[in-house]
Amino acid sequence: MKYKFIISGGGTGGHIYPAVAIANELKARFPDAEFLFVGAEDRMEMEKVPQAGYKIKGLWISGLQRSLSLQNLAFPLKLVSSLRKSQKILKDFKPDVAIGTGGYASAPLLRMAALRNIPCLIQEQNSHAGITNKWLSSKVQKICVAYEGMEKFFPKEKLKITGNPVRQDLLDISSKKEEAISFFKLKKEKKTLLVLGGSLGARRINQLMEKSLSFFEKQNLQVIWQCGKYYEETYKNKGSETVQIHTFLNRMDLAYAAADFIISRAGALSVSELCLVGKPVVFIPSPNVAEDHQTKNALAISEKNAALLIKESDLDINFENEFSEMISSEEKQKSLSENIKKLAKPNATKDIVEEIEKLLNTKN
């Protein structure tokens, strides 16, 4: 039987990447299947999804601003427009299952799919559920989550802990250490610190790195510092023999393989990847994301003694002491590595797709 899958998720890479990973796994199982993505007209999914080889239709939708804003006046109009367009897309495409991975566009699409009695599944990446998924939770059949304790947001009987889809090239990074050292032209005898602030960059992490360069030198570390697109001009000349500055890291598998220690933001997918990588991590969550998701994601790991968590507001006081303590204690490094590896879910994409298959079987 030729199945049809409609998938919606976007606004950020954290919603788009899981949606594409799920589609790829479905395509591997059902090579004849048809796929259609639905996104928000002016967001990055309209570019990223076609790059991944899938068709996408856009809705005129955006989120409600948290502050008083003129943009909010257009929200009811956008919602009605998106609900109508979703209805037409569903009527024309006739999907067997609707899948949502969060972001504005998945709200109208999955709401209308549920009204048409199309089986629906949503995937929540964060340890604190997003507004869209909370709103949809009563309408869908299955909710795949990455963290324990999500029954405080969702009906318990619908939950399945699967983890978040992660890049499959991270499954065996331990075998890539030599290749990574050669790729980044690193010195074998030195330990390597990898610093990640996301593709656009993280201002506060970049400021910390600039301030700490002499501290890292005293610790005899070499540094791979990904400063991000927004900060390329500011930091591109701060490199040295032991400090490499990169706007992007195209080979994340090799960056992880090269690293002995990692400093990172705590977006849901970064956290899932770092559990798989299993290196000692310092999370510096962004305080500027919706509902402080990143702090909650990092807490879910640090509370299990599987990573260090330092808030941006505490960096000046705590960073050097906590980081020194970690890199001078092999016992601490070992326990952080072992504990974070226990939280890894390498089969997340397959497990999510198995839940989708069960929904197909309820239709047949």
Res 77: pLDDT:
77
What element of type H or E holds 262? strand 261-264
**CB-based contact 166:125 (threshold 8 Å):** no
In sequence order, what DSSP letters do the residues of 198-261 get, joined into one string? -SS--HHHHHHHHHHHHHHHHTTEEEEEE--GGGHHHHTT---SSEEEES--S-HHHHHHH-SE
pLDDT tens for each residue of the chain, 364 residues long: 799 999 998 877 788 999 999 999 999 999 999 999 999 888 889 999 999 999 999 888 766 555 555 566 666 777 787 889 999 999 999 999 999 998 888 999 999 999 999 999 999 999 989 888 999 999 999 999 999 999 999 999 999 999 999 888 888 899 999 999 999 999 999 999 999 987 777 899 999 999 999 999 999 999 999 998 888 888 888 888 999 999 989 899 999 999 999 999 999 999 999 999 999 999 999 998 777 889 999 999 999 999 999 999 999 999 999 999 999 999 999 999 999 999 999 999 999 999 999 999 886 6
146 plus 256 within the same structural domain: no
14 marked ligand binding residue: yes
Q: 67 is written with which tokens?
A: 């502050």
- Distance between CA atoms of 59 and 78, rounded to whole angstroms? 8
The residue whose two tokens read 């299993």 is 278
126 marked ligand binding residue: yes
251 plus 104 within the same structural domain: no
- β 97-100/120-124 pair status: parallel
193 plus 323 within the same structural domain: yes
194 plus 87 within the same structural domain: no
Distance set, CA 270 to CA 16, 44, 71, 152, 197 (Å):
14, 18, 31, 23, 10
Nearest to 282 by CA among 317, 307, 260: 307
144 plus 186 within the same structural domain: no
In sequence order, what DSSP letters do the residues of 157-201 get, joined into one string? GGEEE------GGGTTGGGGHHHHHHHTT--TTSEEEEEE--SS-
> pTM surpassing 0.75?
yes
104 plus 160 within the same structural domain: yes
181 plus 313 within the same structural domain: yes
**CB-based contact 51:70 (threshold 8 Å):** no
Residues β-bridged to residue 7: 37, 99
167 marked ligand binding residue: yes
Phi, psi of 58 (to 5 degrees): -105, 145
Distance set, CA 81 to CA 116, 123, 136, 188, 312 (Å):
18, 25, 18, 58, 40
Q: How many domains does the chain have?
A: 2
12 marked ligand binding residue: yes
46 plus 130 within the same structural domain: yes
11 marked ligand binding residue: no
- Distance between CA atoms of 262 and 192, rounded to whole angstroms? 9
244 marked ligand binding residue: no
143 plus 57 within the same structural domain: yes
Helix and strand counts by DSSP (H, E) for the chain:
14, 13
3-state DSSP call for residue 13?
Answer: helix
123 plus 81 within the same structural domain: yes
- Distance between CA atoms of 187 and 199, rounded to whole angstroms? 26
Range of the domain at 62: 4-165+346-362
13 marked ligand binding residue: yes
Sheet holding 120-124, edge to edge: 56-59, 34-40, 4-8, 97-100, 120-124, 142-145, 159-161
The residue whose two tokens read 């504990």 is 339
- Distance between CA atoms of 261 and 281, rounded to whole angstroms? 6
58 plus 144 within the same structural domain: yes
**CB-based contact 58:40 (threshold 8 Å):** yes
199 marked ligand binding residue: yes
353 plus 260 within the same structural domain: no
294 marked ligand binding residue: yes
CATH of the domain at 187: 3.40.50.2000
